[in-house]
Amino acid sequence: MAGFWIYGEWAEDDFHPVVYELLGVARTLAPRLGQRVVVVTLGPEDRKTGVEKVLSYGAEEVLFLVHPELDYFRDDLFGRLLGDMVRERRPEVFLFGATSEGQALAPRIAGELGLGLTAHCTAFEVDEEGRLVQIRPSFGENIMAKIVSRTRPQMATVRPGVFPKAEPGEPRGRVEEIKLAALPPSALVRRAVRPLPRVENPLTRARVVVAGGRGLQSKENFAQLFELAELLSGAVGATRPVCHLGWISEEHMIGVSGVSVAPKLYLGFGISGALQHTVGIQGAETVVAINIDPEAPLMKQADIAVVGDARRILPALIRRIREIKEGKNGSGS
Amino acid sequence: MHLIVCLKPVPKPGTVRVDPKTHTLKRDSAQLILNPPDLYALEMAVELKETYGGKVTALMMGPPNAAELLREAYALGADEMVLLSDRAFAGSDTLATSYVLSRGIKRLEPYDLVLMGKASIDGETAQVGPETAAWLGLPSVIQVKKIQREGDHGWVVVRVREGYEEELFLSGPAVVTVEPGINDPRPPSLKRLLAVRELAPRLFSAQDLECEPEKLGLSGSPTQVLDVFAPSYQREQILLTGEPEEVAQELVSHLRTRGLI
């Protein structure tokens, strides 16, 4: 049977956005691997018309496991059912979004079947041996690693927001419905769901992101980023070290352990540019780096690199932009 | 109640050197610390022990010198220390690591709950928790922020999802990973720091754990690193230098020209 499988995480009334992103990845890679694109999903019967949607986004088949009690995610149960499907159909590739669900599920399947799994890939290649080369930042240092798996399916997770969504087209393929008579036992029962106050992180949709790193030297200097963000109607981002230093809370963290951003303009103040951070700004259109060290990795990859002390340039920039906004001096344009 | 906390020794950030020619890590130069996200799991276990009674076992796979980190865990409230250490474990990916941890956990039966941090700060895969559970045939729940006993063997857990939290009933022992930042890990106790000087962790080798050799280290690791490379960036670049006020003004005019502000 084989196939290039994508886990079809369901979110209320449609697939999770990351599924469409994975379909974009699959469209490029699956033909080169000689595989069909299959979205595998689990749920109650009434999702039938909903799951057809991906057939217009590059899925050649939807494998739909149906049972009324599959209406919410249970780690052990979903892991077991998908593990059985993998054993039976032997896909070549199985990709998951690195959502809380995907990150709970993919390693369960890997553990049950003894498979390799690569977390948080930021790029893929197909090598001359027809293997899926999984690329991810490595060891928290400034190197990327190319990883292959000796086992099949080749499994990997991808963070939401890293790849562009597949474009819709003419629908093709079909839904294969597999009605399950009984479910294997599960140790989990959902009791309640409560919305959390902050539903969406403003960073992921911001047009302008102003981010700071250790080069800003203090929490007080870092706090000035909020002033700049307000002037530019943007959001404040941070590197992992400054979150750990307590200068700002972790929701502001950009990178492997945080969120990915795709603004028109990204300004990085005193950020050296560890890969852990920069993989999260791949989608930024214009990157400006402000750093005392012209050799810093972020300076090398910036569209505009400003050499100087971020602590002094930040307030100067705030003053200059405020002048313009207040119409005092427009000579810069 | 027996609570097992898995802890990972990780290189202290900034102490790892990368060989500029081969791009491989010079791990020997690194100073080891307890993986910071694991401290929330340890604190949660110690709080559970304080509520329900019992003991906390700190379990670690690592080199012999990681014993010092287990002593640190003792000072933070763990009661027993177990180190899984063997040359055969070197080069393990997450699957081989979770296999060894599952063998160690099996050795410590009976237990009520296994706790881990959400992810390590070096590998950042967040995979070892659910993989270990799979080896043990146990359920797993990741990103847990609250946990309470219900009945003789059950648990009520609250986990964090995107934009909401979910309360689940868990009918027996499980592996949970703990969401960072959900509690305040206590400082080390002086009394415990003094007491632990007389103590050493129990040490288990691959043979002690009756591990299958082909599941260990590189041979037990299905993922292989083919190559590592430094990313290269080729873009047209504008470089601005000068006094802060000058560069700020120049930067603003560039951004305005491009219609970005």
Q: Give me the residue label for tokens 């050499």.
A: A307
Whether B24 is in a domain gets the answer: yes
Q: Please indicate whether, in this complex, the C-beta atoms of A304 and B240 are within 8 angstroms of each other.
A: yes
pLDDT at position B163, please? 83
* Same domain? A157 vs A21: yes
CATH of the domain at A311: 3.40.50.1220
Report chain A residues whose CB lies below 8 A from the CB of B140.
75-76, 104, 108
The CB density around residue B218, as the number of other CB atoms within 10 Å, is 12
Q: What is the mean pLDDT of chain A?
A: 93
Q: What is the three-class DSSP state of B213?
A: helix
Q: In chain A, pLDDT over 90 holds for what percent of residues?
A: 80
Q: Could you tell me if A218 and A175 lie in one domain?
A: no
- Decide which of A159 and A116 is more confident: A116
Question: In total, how many domains does chain A have?
Answer: 2
Indicate the residue of A112, A151, A208 with minimum beta-carbon distance to B134. A112
User: Given a cut of 60, is residue B22 above it in pLDDT?
Assistant: no
Best B12, B15, B113, B131 member to test A by mutation, with max A CBs in 10 Å, is B131
Pair (A309, A261) in one structural domain: yes
Dihedral over Cα of A231, A232, A238, A243: its sign: positive
User: pLDDT digits over A94-119, tens only?
Assistant: 999 999 999 999 999 999 999 999 99
The alpha-carbon gap from B21 to the nearest alpha carbon of chain A, in Å, equals 12
- The residue of chain A with its CA nearest to that of B125 is A119
Report the distance separating Cα A242 and Cα A248, nearest Å: 7
What mean pLDDT do residues B221-238 have? 82
Q: How does residue A167 score in pLDDT terms, banded at 50, 70 and 90?
A: very high
Q: What is the CATH number of the domain that holds B96?
A: 3.40.50.620
By C-alpha distance, the chain B residue nearest A207 is B260
Indicate yes or no: CB of B231 within 8 angstroms of CB of A275: yes
pLDDT for residue B27 is more than 80: no
B18 CB neighbours in chain A (<8 A) are 141-143
Q: Model confidence over B55-87: pLDDT tens digits?
A: 999 999 999 999 999 999 999 999 999 999 999
Alpha carbon distance B40, B120 (integer Å): 12
CATH code, domain with A73? 3.40.50.620
Q: Is the ipTM of this complex over 0.85?
A: yes
pTM of the model: 0.83
**Chain B residues within 8 A of A120 when measuring between CB atoms:** 124-125
Q: Which residues of A touch B252 (CB under 8 A)?
A: 317, 320-321, 324, 332
Judge whether B64 lies within some domain: yes
Mutate to test the interface with B, among A306, A307, A312, A333 (most CBs of B within 10 A): A306
Q: What's the confidence (pLDDT) of residue B233? A: 62
CA distance A23 to B76: 46
Domain stops at, among A164, A179, A194:
A179
Say whether both A45 and A145 belong to one domain.
yes
Q: What's the total number of domains in chain B?
A: 1
What would the mean pLDDT of A281-307 be, rounded to a whole number? Answer: 93
The rounded distance, in Å, linking the Cα atoms of A12 and A263 is 27
Better pLDDT: B54 or A122: B54
Measure CB to CB from residue B172 to each of A104, A187, A300 and give the nearest one.
A187
In this prediction, residue A276 has a pLDDT band, given cuts at 50, 70 and 90, of: confident
Any domain includes A102? yes
Q: Which of A18-22, A128-132, A157-161, A312-316 has the lowest mean pLDDT?
A: A157-161
| Phi/psi at A180 (5° precision) | -90, 130
Strands A188-195 and B164-170: antiparallel
Closest Cα partner for B164 from A237, A20, A11, A256? A11
Mean pLDDT of chain B: 92
The answer to whether A321 contacts B221, with C-beta atoms less than 8 Å apart, is no
pLDDT surpassing 60 at residue A275: yes
Residue A272 lies in a domain: yes
- Percent with pLDDT over 70 in chain B: 93
Contact A187 B171 (CB under 8 A): yes
**Who among A111, A250, A304 is closest to B131 (CB)?**
A111
| Confidence category of residue A327, pLDDT binned at 50, 70, 90 | confident
In a domain, B251, yes or no: no
Res. A248: pLDDT tops 80: yes
User: Tokens representing B109?
Assistant: 């039966």
Which site among A76, A253, A267 would you substitute to test the B interface, given the most B Cβ atoms closer than 10 Å to its Cβ?
A76
Q: Is residue A196 part of a domain?
A: no
Classify B72 as helix, strand or coil.
helix
State the first-to-last Cα distance of chain A, in angstroms, to the nearest integer. Answer: 61
Question: Where does B137-217 have alpha helices with state H?
Answer: 190-196
pLDDT of residue A333: 42
Domain extent at residue A269? 202-325
Residue list for the binding site of A for FAD: 214, 239-240, 270-277, 291
A170 with A221, same domain?
no
Residues A26, A142: one domain?
yes
Is the distance from CB of B24 to CB of B228 less than 8 angstroms? yes
Asked whether residue B134 is assigned to any structural domain, the reply reads yes
Among the residue ranges A62-71, A211-220, B8-17, the one predicted with the least confidence is B8-17
| pLDDT at residue A141 in the model | 56
Laid out side by side, the sheet with B140-150 consists of: A188-195, B164-170, B154-161, B140-150, B175-178, B113-117, B2-7, B55-61, B80-84, B202-204
Predicted confidence at residue A25, as pLDDT, reads 97
Nearest to A305 among B159, B163, B237 (CB): B237
A-chain residues near B181 (CB < 8 A): 250
Cβ distance B251 to A190 less than 8 Å, yes or no, reads no
Contact present, B166 and B172 (Cβ < 8 Å): no
- Which of B162, B177, B234 is the mutation pick for testing A, counting most A CBs within 10 A? B162
Location of structure tokens 């950042």: B124
> Which residues are CB-neighbours of B93 under 8 A, at least 6 positions away?
A116, B221, B222, B223
Alpha-carbon span A141 to A299, nearest angstrom: 17
- pLDDT digit string (tens) for B188-226? 999 999 999 999 999 999 999 999 999 999 999 999 999
The range of the structural domain enclosing residue B47 comes to 2-215
* Spatial CB neighbours of B45, under 8 Å, sequence gap ≥ 6: B3, B4, B5, B56, B77, B78, B113, B115
pLDDT score for B19: 64
Nearest CA in chain A to B160: A100
Q: Which of B143, B166, B233 sits opposite A301 (nearest CB)?
A: B233
pLDDT in tens, A35-52: 999 999 999 999 999 999
Domain end among A144, A179, A214? A179
State how far residue A26 is from chain B, nearest Cα, in angstroms: 21
Give the separation between CA B189 and CA A97, rounded to whole angstroms: 42
Are A19 and A128 within one domain? yes
pLDDT value, residue B123: 85
Q: Is residue B111 part of a domain?
A: yes
- Chain B CB contacts of A306 under 8 Å are 240-241, 247, 251
pLDDT of the residue at B81: 98
Task: Give the residue from chain B lying closest to A290, CA to CA.
Answer: B240
* C-beta separation of A314 from A301 below 8 A: no
